[in-house]
Amino acid sequence: MTEPRTYRLMLLILGVVFAFLYIPISVLVGLSFNEGGLPTAWTGFSVKWYGALAGNSDILKAAGNTLIVALFSTVLSTLLGTLLAVGVEIRRRNGKWLETIIFAPMIIPDIVLAIALLSMFSLLGVKMGLHTIVVSHVVFNLAFVCAVVRARLKSFDWSIVEASADLGASTMTTLYRIVIPVLMPAIIAGALLAFTLSVDEFIIAFFTAGAGRSSITLPMQIFAMIRFGVTPEINALATIVMSVSVVALALSQRLNKGGLPGQ
């Protein structure tokens, strides 16, 4: 398994495949700092396209909306997701069906979720706006937060809860002084994941934002702008969105080694 030839083949595949990923990403980031803004020539380093973003009130509005949606949906989904994870773990005997119900949203395609929520809000006659995006993102994020906290709970030593009771603590004291502090890294990791998912999410936000431009978010803004081709502003915006995601998820992973979905 460790013969040099096999390993060299592996490296080659790695190289080719990731060239397809990292070259375009690097080009995108590079161009966002290119004075001239054109892919044809490097005319010098500049942050002028970032400056241009700051001068664009549509984009500032979209960034503000994204932040509002992300913050509210993160706080709500973290609270609810943590409670659910702990609740499910305690009532493990209730078994499979509860878990299936909770994790199903991770399986349901985003576009189907988007249509379903849109129909729901229409049927109920709810006027759509940032609040409906927040509710939708809570529904969308909840399962992910719950999954991160549950992953941590799998290695949680429940005997410390019994030890706390044995030493004279009430249920509430045990919750505040033992359970929550021990779970805190996973809770924060879950929150950071929820934040990133919300910032990056396009299709659910697109469907549940309602008509007009007042509730537009950053991915929607990028989507709208791209009809006119990939401009330097889009590159700058994409670089910012990517940076936020990468930083938040790197933090999340650090806090919660092995508990990040898919790792």
Binding mask 104-123 for its own copies (x = CB under 8 A): xxxxxxxxxx-xxxxxx-xx
Which of the ranges 13-21, 47-55, 61-69, 180-188 carries the binding residues for its own copies, by CB under 8 A? 13-21
Query: Which 150-169 positions form the footprint of other proteins (CB under 8 A)?
Result: 157, 159-160, 162-169
CB 122 within 8 A of CB 215: no
CB 4 to its own copies: min, Å? 11
CB 163 to its own copies: min, Å? 13
What's the CA gap between 99 and 159, in Å, rounded? 23
**Near its own copies by CB under 8 A: residue from 35, 46, 103, 126:** 103
Q: What share of the chain is helix, strand, coil (3-state, %, to 5)?
A: 80, 0, 20
Q: Residue count at the site for other proteins (CB under 8 A)? A: 17
CB 234 within 8 A of CB 48: no
By beta-carbon proximity to other proteins, the closer residue of 174 and 215 is: 174
Burial of 134 (0-12, 13-18, 19+ CB in 10 A): buried
User: Taking CB under 8 A as the rule, does residue 216 contact its own copies?
Assistant: no
CB 177 to other proteins: min, Å? 8
User: Taking CB under 8 A as the rule, does residue 261 contact its own copies?
Assistant: yes
**Beta bridge pairs of residue 34:** 45
What's the CA gap between 196 and 181, in Å, rounded? 23
Question: Which residue has tokens 């330097």?
Answer: 232
Residue 211 contact among other proteins, its own copies, none, beta carbon within 5 to 8 Å by kind: none
By beta-carbon proximity to other proteins, the closer residue of 27 and 160 is: 160
Contacts of 262 (CB under 8 A, 6+ apart): none
DSSP state of 132: H
Chain residues that interact with other proteins, rule: CB under 8 A: 157, 159-160, 162-170, 173, 177-178, 181-182
